[in-house]
Structure 1
Amino acid sequence: MSQSTPRDFDDMLSNEPSASADLASAARADEGSRIDRWWATRSTLTRRWLGWVGPAIVVLVAAFTRLVGLAHPSSLVFDETFYVKDSWTLVNRGYEAQWPAEADALFNSGKVDIFLNDPSFVVHPPLGKWLIGLGMLPGGGEDPFGWRIATAIAGILAVIVLMLIAKKLFGSTLLATLAGLLMAIDGNAIVMSRVALLDNFVMIFALLGVGAMLLDREHSATRLALWISRRGLRGGATDWGPSLWWRPWLMLAAVAFGAAAAVKWNGLYFLAAFAIYSLVVDALARRRAGISFWGSGTLFKQAPVSFLLTVPVALLVYLASWTSWFISDNSYDRSWAETDGNAWTGLFSGVPLDIQSLWHFQSSVYSYHVGESRPHPYQANPLTWLLLIRPTSMFYENSVRGESGCLADACGASISGIANPLIWWAATAAVLYLLYRLVRYRQGQTGFILMGVAAGYLPWLLYLNRTVFQFYTIVFEPYLILALVAALGVIVGRSDDDRYRRTSGLGVVAVFVVVVIAVSVFFWPLWTGQTLDYDLLRLRWWLPTWV
């Protein structure tokens, strides 16, 4: 096939034709690269085992970049001052308790049991802090490795889940491995897996939910086909179609999205976005199946069922994350509704007092979030996120010759959430390319990927005056990487492309990957807090806004 010949984008991304197709292609000297022809001659068992090698190596790389030196620095960095201490009191008290003055210095010195009895006002739900706290239990609160192990595990799992999603989405082990590799070596993903913040948990739960939605798309299409075969419907039949109740993957997605919201509220945007996505997919499936009233059938028959399968499930998961708040008498605002004059009256007077108290607490948290506009030296307007203008510095320490391994007159050690610039900027360009493809060709994979980007990014454009940070982007970074891999998949082509097209495509992508790896190696000290000669440190500040 010539390079200029149009081809369906979804088909282009499926780089693994059947064994018979491989052999047929290999028999033609003008198709595919030498690698394709070599691959086609391997046995099925050999290809199966070799197909695991790449993903396994990627998982090892992800583990290395997230676990090696995880206990450094041995002091609280950035917002760890909130989440580590809150997590420690949560697993010890059952609620987030207050700390005395100068608590950070005392905590860093190993005095970790000096928390008070009074509850603390916190602005995020407890699930993420429970996960951090559980990681701290084996080694105690004085172990920096324990502070961060939960977020590191979440980062490793995200690489695995991303590869599974990419494999399902693209049907290509090559592209799936590439997606995992880019996530494994990107600076934003590495840094957010090495500090005890909450956003990595939102990312992994949302990613699990998105993966479940992908599986639900296939499952619901199968159920719809079964219903049609039983009813004997054919194209043009006048019917609204069924109400599909048995959708376990949709319910599991609701569990995952509810868990994401139980870490930070922005997880709710994924529930909302993919609820819309689910309805669109349902409607298109009904239209393809020949159901006449496919739109109204989706809206009036399936939408209410899908709502009942998702929203109550997500709400129950969210409420379950507050179990310790309910059973701890000293939790913040726990008895608010029991105070004279606070309980609701009128129509809502019958709501349990516990729920009234929790609602009041949540209302206070919402007021905090929408009003948070205090300036911060590393705040980053969401309009600049995709351009990587103002990454967040999590840690910085100056040193002179002889201190902290410094071999120069002046040195610095930094943990900065600078994404690998080549990955980030290329992914941003890929998103624009996929938008073009979606508008022009209305492709399924493209819409799925862009919905992930939209769910994690677009809601923040409503809060341009709020104090926010670049590292929030970790929540939608997996979908940026999927967008980039989709674009790289077009460059790679298929094994039945003509030899020059296929060979040149593989070569271009191989060069890109090698350069990306080299850039990650170059930035590695800036992501892990290694002491560098100050002049060498400055070489890694490619933009003046990165300082």
Structure 2
Amino acid sequence: MGMLDIFLAFLILASFACVLVDRDQVRSRLAVATAEGWVTESKYGPRLGVRWWRLGAGVLLGLACGVKWSGMYYIAAFGLLTVMFDVAARRAAGVRHPWRGAIVRDVLPGLWAFVVLGVVAYLSTWWAWFGSETAIDRTLVATTGTDPLSVARGALGSLFQYSTHVLDFHASLVTKPGQQHPWESKPWTWPMSLRPMLYYYEGGTTGCGEARCVSATMLIGTPALWWLSLPVLAWGLWRMFARLDWRYAAVVVGYLTGLLPWFATLDRQMYFFYATPMAAFLVLGITLCLGQVLGAARAGAERRGTGLLVVALYVGLVVANFVWLWPILNGDPITESRWQAELWLPSWR
């Protein structure tokens, strides 16, 4: 999708997978403790040992922050999500004080995983900058000696000041009245892809079978997916709070973490590619809904058959919709009439 955002989205999704595997591993370890009869020896429950998948999530989120600082939102969100998973797991295992147990047993190691390891992973993404003598702002803070502590102090101090300059620049990158970027968008338009991003347009190309063709590359969400985002979100919130469905809770947390923080800085310039990390969680949410449409494995053949038909028709619709949009996703030459037919909404123009 947009520039660095595809790498950010990959690392966030990979860290999310680690968080889910960690949840399963925690429950497996607690099940062993329950079976062996020592899960209630402490009112806080047992210690769970090294949680490698949580450590992996912390590393991946640190790398995500190295791509874009918006990865920090996911450190906070996924950190809280793991705490909630731990509380639920300890309660299910019969621990007398699951909240206290999670705080005493799990929060401090979680901080090491998500914060300390995350910072180390983030700093590792700057290895080329640290190793260069000519990198931008590399020597803002002078090194006062040759010992490791002095070298580290100078390098980290320079990085801090450089990061401060970058933050100041982006904080001042606001939309002035009457000077909006033509393809700027705000976060309330992202869930339904109401304002896409036009990367490239050439109106005088050839190769479409007519004398004059159009080639355009537009970042746009497949409507068959994105236009269901609000109903899927509403259903996910209901399942999350009314049914305490952890699957929907995890997906909703991931989705909203990619959306809500941007409402805090509405005056700055924003574009649809900022929503790239949301895409995976939208697909996961729709997948959960389709699973319910399909029906449980124990449901009757007629119920499952009807559900399978509905799911197959919807997936076919998504594929057909994507194929229709492919020319403007890929910059293929198309006729002017086809170009106009691709632009379904006034806000897409």
TM-score of the pair, normalised by structure 1: 0.59
Distance in structure 2 (CA, Å) of the matches to 1:225 and 1:495: 25
Asked if the contact 1:242–1:302 (Cα under 8 Å) also holds between the matched residues in 2, the reply is no
Per the alignment, residue 203 of structure 1 pairs with: 9
Structure 2 matches for 1:453-492, cutoff 5 A? Answer: 453-492=255-294
Letter of the 1:358 counterpart: L
Mark the CA change 1:405 to 1:281 in structure 2 (over 3 Å): closer, same or farther: same
Distance in structure 2 (CA, Å) of the matches to 1:301 and 1:500: 48
Letter of the 1:394 counterpart: Y
Per the alignment, residue 373 of structure 1 pairs with: 174
Q: CA shift at 1:406, angstroms?
A: 4.7
1:392 to 170, 173, 197: 197
Say whether 1:232 aligns with 2:38: yes
Distance in structure 2 (CA, Å) of the matches to 1:244 and 1:337: 43
Distance in structure 1 (CA, Å) of the matches to 2:23 and 2:165: 38
Say whether 1:272 aligns with 2:76: yes
Q: CA shift at 1:230, angstroms?
A: 5.3
Mark the CA change 1:407 to 1:350 in structure 2 (over 3 Å): closer, same or farther: closer
Give the secondary structure class of the aligned counterpart of 1:414: strand
Per the alignment, residue 228 of structure 2 pairs with: 426
Distance in structure 2 (CA, Å) of the matches to 1:412 and 1:437: 45
Asked if the contact 1:240–1:294 (Cα under 8 Å) also holds between the matched residues in 2, the reply is yes
**1:254-275 Cα deviation digits (max 9, x unpaired):** 1111111111111121111110
**1:69-109 Cα deviation digits (max 9, x unpaired):** xxxxxxxxxxxxxxxxxxxxxxxxxxxxxxxxxxxxxxxxx
Q: CA shift at 1:221, angstroms?
A: 1.8
Q: CA shift at 1:233, angstroms?
A: 4.1
Distance in structure 1 (CA, Å) of the matches to 2:39 and 2:100: 17
Per the alignment, residue 292 of structure 1 pairs with: 96
Instruction: Give me the identity figure in percent.
Output: 29
Give the secondary structure class of the aligned counterpart of 1:246: coil
**1:402-461 Cα deviation digits (max 9, x unpaired):** x42254354311111111111111243212111111121011111111111022222112
Say whether 1:354 aligns with 2:155: yes
Distance in structure 2 (CA, Å) of the matches to 1:415 and 1:443: 39
Letter of the 1:240 counterpart: Y
Q: CA shift at 1:501, angstroms?
A: 2.0
Q: CA shift at 1:387, angstroms?
A: 2.2
Asked if the contact 1:387–1:425 (Cα under 8 Å) also holds between the matched residues in 2, the reply is yes
Q: Relative to structure 2, which stretch is displaced further, 263-272 or 491-500?
A: 491-500
**1:197-252 Cα deviation digits (max 9, x unpaired):** 10000011111111011110011222233445556345xx7611234341000001
Distance in structure 2 (CA, Å) of the matches to 1:499 and 1:200: 41
Distance in structure 2 (CA, Å) of the matches to 1:465 and 1:281: 36
Asked if the contact 2:44–2:96 (Cα under 8 Å) also holds between the matched residues in 1, the reply is yes
Per the alignment, residue 122 of structure 1 pairs with: none
Distance in structure 2 (CA, Å) of the matches to 1:282 and 1:322: 33
Give the secondary structure class of the aligned counterpart of 1:296: helix
1:251 to 55, 59, 63: 55
Letter of the 1:377 counterpart: P
Give the secondary structure class of the aligned counterpart of 2:201: strand
Give the secondary structure class of the aligned counterpart of 2:228: helix
Per the alignment, residue 132 of structure 1 pairs with: none
Letter of the 2:312 counterpart: A
Distance in structure 1 (CA, Å) of the matches to 2:68 and 2:38: 47
Distance in structure 2 (CA, Å) of the matches to 1:227 and 1:310: 26
Distance in structure 2 (CA, Å) of the matches to 1:525 and 1:397: 13
Mark the CA change 1:227 to 1:501 in structure 2 (over 3 Å): closer, same or farther: closer
Mark the CA change 1:522 to 1:200 in structure 2 (over 3 Å): closer, same or farther: same
Q: CA shift at 1:508, angstroms?
A: 1.4
**1:490-515 Cα deviation digits (max 9, x unpaired):** 11113432333222211112111222
Asked if the contact 2:143–2:151 (Cα under 8 Å) also holds between the matched residues in 1, the reply is no
Asked if the contact 1:395–1:414 (Cα under 8 Å) also holds between the matched residues in 2, the reply is yes
Q: CA shift at 1:379, angstroms?
A: 0.8
Letter of the 1:449 counterpart: V
Asked if the contact 2:59–2:117 (Cα under 8 Å) also holds between the matched residues in 1, the reply is yes
Asked if the contact 2:229–2:282 (Cα under 8 Å) also holds between the matched residues in 1, the reply is yes
Distance in structure 1 (CA, Å) of the matches to 2:203 and 2:39: 73
Distance in structure 1 (CA, Å) of the matches to 2:143 and 2:202: 48
Distance in structure 1 (CA, Å) of the matches to 2:194 and 2:229: 15
1:521 to 316, 323, 335: 323
Distance in structure 1 (CA, Å) of the matches to 2:191 and 2:287: 17
Letter of the 1:459 counterpart: P
Letter of the 1:357 counterpart: S
Identify unmatched segments of 5+ residues in structure 1. 1-191, 341-348
Give the secondary structure class of the aligned counterpart of 2:190: helix
Asked if the contact 1:261–1:318 (Cα under 8 Å) also holds between the matched residues in 2, the reply is yes
Q: CA shift at 1:369, angstroms?
A: 2.0
Distance in structure 2 (CA, Å) of the matches to 1:304 and 1:273: 16
Structure 2 matches for 1:144-159, cutoff 5 A? Answer: none
Identify unmatched segments of 5+ residues in structure 2. 145-149
